[in-house]
Amino acid sequence: MGSEDLVCASCSGLVIEGRCPTCRASREYLRRNSPNLSPQLFLTILVIIMVLTALAVRHAS
């Protein structure tokens, strides 16, 4: 499993393309931590980021 293939749940684009804040945050995290990061840990962090993003959007509108 390569981190290049991760698809963002927020914008449905590839995370590495950085189309939305969630992508960019995830990509930045990967850049700092790969290749020592386990996919499971990354998914856990990604979920946390997505929840925070959803909350931020809800507060903004």
Surface-to-core class of residue 21, CB atoms within 10 Å of its CB (0-12 exposed, 13-18 middle, 19+ buried): middle
Half-sphere exposure of 25 (CA within 13 A, CB side): 17
Within 21-40, the residues that bind Zn ion by CB under 5 A are: 22-23
Give the end-to-end CA distance of the chain in Å, rounded to a whole number.
Answer: 36
Q: How far is the CB of 40 from Zn ion (least distance, A)?
A: 20
- Give me the 5-24 binding string for Zn ion, x by CB under 5 A, dash otherwise: ---x-xx-------xx-xx-
Q: Is 3 in the site for Zn ion (CB under 5 A)?
A: no
Binding site for Zn ion (CB under 5 A): 8, 10-11, 19-20, 22-23
